[in-house]
């Protein structure tokens, strides 16, 4: 059985929901407290055992590449000032893992972005983590949970959670049958269906493990919803050719590319940080007189 060693992080979308911040900077660089979104995702991939990462970048790719590269001037400056902890922090980012980059010349959709990873992936199963979806977990990272599921079923795995019925039109929705506690078999998929047409409320949420057979399908996938080449359409075709499962992962997922999702991620991440929790909670309690804030740990 092949091991899942490679991960692809698409980060070439326009991020129109977050304009003007995303005019000259990819949304994947939006900081959640003090770390860019994409670094949380790279860290999740590494903690899940991924050895090589390909980031699909768009026209504003510099910031992402620079972030994961050495910054000689900054390192010298920190060294001169004796700021050893910060120096270690900055160095650790560039030493994290082997990161490759490829440019998607035109943002033709997520399916097209993944097709750009064909040569990097070769003939092995690979993980996809969307560059703007953070999943917070207390124990096992989200991708690791999915790799465990892949090891059990030896076939493509979609990361899913149930969403509110009125939200189904924001996601790729699974038509499936429950196989085990957290696992469904995938019979069909629909990209962003209208509420009354959705086969379920089981939604794909930014994490995938995909067999390389997807590339032959993506090659001929026509633009779908929104005029974009949709990964969901290609996965639907793959599910006709071979078994596919959906795994209901444990964890809190944030859509950082959405304004409200970004705010939730920021507030809850700050509340989980020992260095910020107390002061931030005092501040929040002052402005929001509701007990719910107390329950975020």
Pairing assessment for the beta strands 133-136 and 172-180 based on DSSP bridges:
unpaired
What element of type H or E holds 231?
helix 231-241
Q: How far is the CB of 26 from ligand UTP (least distance, A)?
A: 7
Q: Give the residue nearest to ligand UTP (CB).
A: 13
What element of type H or E holds 203?
strand 202-210
Q: How far is the CB of 6 from ligand UTP (least distance, A)?
A: 17
Task: Compute the radius of gyration of the chain from its Cα atoms.
Answer: 20
Q: Which is nearer to ligand UTP, 112 or 144 (CB)?
A: 112
Q: Which is nearer to ligand UTP, 13 or 125 (CB)?
A: 13
Q: How far is the CB of 75 from ligand UTP (least distance, A)?
A: 29
Q: Which is nearer to ligand UTP, 16 or 178 (CB)?
A: 16
Q: What is the DSSP letter of 212?
A: T
Question: 220: phi > 0 → left, psi -120 to 50 → alpha, else beta; which?
Answer: alpha
With beta carbons less than 8 A apart as the criterion, state whether 38 and 55 touch: yes
Q: How far is the CB of 107 from ligand UTP (least distance, A)?
A: 3
Number of H helices, E strands in the chain: 11, 13
Q: How far is the CB of 202 from ligand UTP (least distance, A)?
A: 19
Q: Which two tokens stand for residue 9?
A: 């992080």
Q: Which is nearer to ligand UTP, 13 or 176 (CB)?
A: 13
With beta carbons less than 8 A apart as the criterion, state whether 208 and 156 touch: yes
Q: Which two tokens stand for residue 256?
A: 């950082």
Q: What is the DSSP letter of 44?
A: H
Q: Which is nearer to ligand UTP, 81 or 170 (CB)?
A: 170
In 3D space, the residue among 56, 170, 53, 156 whose CA is nearest the CA of residue 114 turns out to be 56
List phi, psi (to 5°) of 197. Answer: -100, -5
Q: Which is nearer to ligand UTP, 224 or 257 (CB)?
A: 257
Q: How far is the CB of 103 from ligand UTP (least distance, A)?
A: 10
Q: How far is the CB of 105 from ligand UTP (least distance, A)?
A: 10
- Residues in touch with ligand UTP (CB under 6 A): 10-17, 56, 104, 107-110, 112-113, 130-132, 257
Rounded Cα gap, residues 85 and 76, in angstroms: 13
Q: Which is nearer to ligand UTP, 108 or 277 (CB)?
A: 108
């Amino acid at each position: 059985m092949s091991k899942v060693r490679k991960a692809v992080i698409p980060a070439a979308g326009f991020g129109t929901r977050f304009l003007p911040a995303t005019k000259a900077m990819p949304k994947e660089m939006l900081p959640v407290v003090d770390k860019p979104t994409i670094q949380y995702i790279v860290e999740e991939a590494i903690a899940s055992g991924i050895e090589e990462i390909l980031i699909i970048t768009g026209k504003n790719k510099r910031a992402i590449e620079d972030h994961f590269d050495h910054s000689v001037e900054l390192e010298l400056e920190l060294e001169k000032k004796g700021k050893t902890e910060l120096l270690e922090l900055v160095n650790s980012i560039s030493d994290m893992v082997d990161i490759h980059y490829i440019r998607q010349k035109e943002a033709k959709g997520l399916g097209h972005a993944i097709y750009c990873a064909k040569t990097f992936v070769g003939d092995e199963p690979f993980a996809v983590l969307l560059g703007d979806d953070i999943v917070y977990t207390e124990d096992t990272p989200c991708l690791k949970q999915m790799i465990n599921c892949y090891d059990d079923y030896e076939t493509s795995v979609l990361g899913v959670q149930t969403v509110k019925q009125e939200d189904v039109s924001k996601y790729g929705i699974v038509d499936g049958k429950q196989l085990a506690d957290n696992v469904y078999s995938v019979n069909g998929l629909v990209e962003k269906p209208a509420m009354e047409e959705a086969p379920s409320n089981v939604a794909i949420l930014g994490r995938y493990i995909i067999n390389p057979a997807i590339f032959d399908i993506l090659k001929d996938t026509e633009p779908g919803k929104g005029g974009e080449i949709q990964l969901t359409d290609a996965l639907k075709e793959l599910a006709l050719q071979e078994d596919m499962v959906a795994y209901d992962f444990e964890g809190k997922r944030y859509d950082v590319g959405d304004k409200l999702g970004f705010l939730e991620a920021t507030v809850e991440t700050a509340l989980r940080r020992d260095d910020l929790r107390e002061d931030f909670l005092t501040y929040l309690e002052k402005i929001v007189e509701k007990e719910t804030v107390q329950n975020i740990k």
